[in-house]
């Protein structure tokens, strides 16, 4: 498959996707979305891939949904076509997805980063939900995910004023997991992804699924789910191997079984 709006590569066991519409600061149009979903789903199905990294350019992770594509949209078309619902496919991936963000992550760009499992930010990163300045509000999960991740006060502040926050503020409020110098962003994200890909793939996938449960259920149901999944891990050869390797003071050789 040839892609026009993204660059897709494999780095060892890591799927690497770079958003590539530099002329529009990686604004997310429907062609880019279709390509992104195809690439992500093919990495997700590929047994040789253990984690995926999405990044943009030095200037912009993505400056939002494509305003020029959206500006003449009619209500009936938006409603009947369930505009933006295709983005949910990103959140159905079962393998870990890391967003490596430099520059602008605004509107849909911030929302795409939040669909990933965690965000590593360059010192240059700027996050925001400026939709209010365009006469709309977030439409790809921003009002819900941002509120869960950073709390009501900051989500209200960002969505109602449309202001941007820098990487340090984003780290302080828990939106990003770590901030690194811009020149080290891709290396750091790939290093994290390769580390994840070195572990037992079923265990990695079950860990992601279980943490995501925390956002969908009560604490007692979440704890019960965690325990059931934890128990099931003792059916895996990888549990035997991981614990034997520890006892024998050697590196484990996970078979993904
Ligand atoms: C379409 C965009 C774009 C976008 C930038 N461009 N953002 N095109 N959609 N979201 C285009 C510009 O039109 C311009 O094209 C080129 O990219 C470079 O942008 P500049 O504005 O010239 O760059 P700069 O001056 O450096 O300013 C960077 C910026 C600004 C601060 C990020 O581009 C900006 O404010 N962009 C919009 C950010 C935004 O509002 N995002 C939210 C979108 S709505 P030309 O052809 O002129 O060179 C959204 C969710 C909507 O994401 C949900 C509602 C349903």
For the domain that residue 233 is a member of, what is the CATH number?
Answer: 1.10.12.10
113 CB near ligand 1 (under 6 Å): no
pLDDT at 129: 98
From 23, 63, 103, the mutation candidate for ligand 1 (largest count of ligand atoms within 8 A of CB) is 63
Predicted-assembly ipTM surpassing the 0.95 threshold: yes
Residues 110 and 230 in one domain: no
25 CB near ligand 1 (under 6 Å): yes
Number of domains the chain is built from: 2
107 CB near ligand 1 (under 6 Å): yes
User: Could you list the residue range(s) of the whole structural domain that residue 220 is in?
Assistant: 200-248
In order along its 257 residues, the chain shows pLDDT tens digits of 899 999 999 999 999 999 999 999 999 999 999 999 999 999 999 999 999 999 999 999 999 999 999 999 999 999 999 999 999 999 999 999 999 999 999 999 999 999 999 999 999 999 999 999 999 999 999 999 999 999 999 999 999 999 999 999 999 999 999 999 999 999 999 999 999 999 999 999 999 999 999 999 999 999 999 999 999 999 999 999 999 999 999 999 999 87
24 CB near ligand 1 (under 6 Å): yes
Residues 94 and 18 in one domain: yes
DSSP string, 5-26: SEEEEEETTEEEEEE--GGGTT
Which of 15, 64, 108, 142 is an active site residue? 108
pLDDT at 92: 97
pLDDT at 256: 86
pLDDT at 1: 81
Residues 156 and 66 in one domain: yes
Q: How far is CA 136 from CA 65, 140, 186, in A?
A: 12, 12, 33
Residues 101 and 214 in one domain: no
Residues 222 and 100 in one domain: no
How many angstroms is it from 65 CA to the middle of ligand 1? 9
Residues 78 and 26 in one domain: yes
Residues 129 and 228 in one domain: no
CATH (domain of 108): 3.90.226.10
User: What are the b/e assignments for 110-123, b being 16+ CB within 10 Å?
Assistant: bbbbbbbbbbbbbe
Tell me, yes or no, whether 71 lies in a domain.
yes
Which of 111, 122, 189, 193 is an active site residue? 111
From 5, 19, 25, the mutation candidate for ligand 1 (largest count of ligand atoms within 8 A of CB) is 25
Tell me, yes or no, whether 177 lies in a domain.
yes
Beta-strand ranges (E) seen in 48-203 are 51-55, 60-62, 97-101, 104-106, 118-122, 126-128, 164-166, 178-180
Query: What are the beta bridge partners of residue 10?
Result: 15
């Amino acid at each position: 498959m040839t892609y026009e709006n993204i660059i897709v590569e494999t780095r060892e066991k890591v799927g690497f996707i770079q958003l590539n519409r530099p002329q529009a600061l990686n604004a997310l149009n429907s062609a880019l979305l279709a390509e992104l979903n195809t690439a992500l789903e093919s990495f997700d199905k590929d047994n040789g891939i253990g984690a995926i990294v999405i990044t943009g350019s030095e200037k912009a992770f993505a400056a939002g949904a494509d305003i020029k594509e959206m500006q003449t949209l009619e209500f009936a078309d938006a409603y009947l076509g369930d505009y933006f619902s295709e983005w949910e496919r990103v959140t159905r991936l079962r393998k870990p997805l890391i967003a490596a963000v430099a520059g602008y992550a605004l509107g849909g760009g911030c929302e795409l980063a939040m669909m990933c499992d965690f965000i590593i930010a360059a010192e240059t990163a700027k996050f925001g939900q400026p939709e209010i300045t365009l006469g709309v509000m977030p439409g790809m999960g921003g009002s819900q995910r941002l509120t869960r991740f950073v709390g009501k006060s900051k989500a209200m502040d960002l969505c109602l004023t449309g202001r941007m926050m820098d990487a340090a503020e984003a780290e302080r409020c828990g939106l990003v997991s770590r901030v690194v110098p811009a020149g080290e962003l891709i290396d750091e994200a790939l290093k994290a992804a390769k580390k994840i890909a070195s572990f037992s793939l079923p265990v990695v996938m079950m860990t992601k699924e279980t943490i995501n449960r925390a956002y969908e259920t009560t604490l007692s149901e979440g704890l019960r789910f965690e325990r059931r999944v934890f128990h099931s891990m003792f059916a895996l050869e990888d549990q035997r191997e991981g614990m034997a390797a520890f006892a024998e003071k050697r590196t484990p050789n996970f078979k993904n079984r």
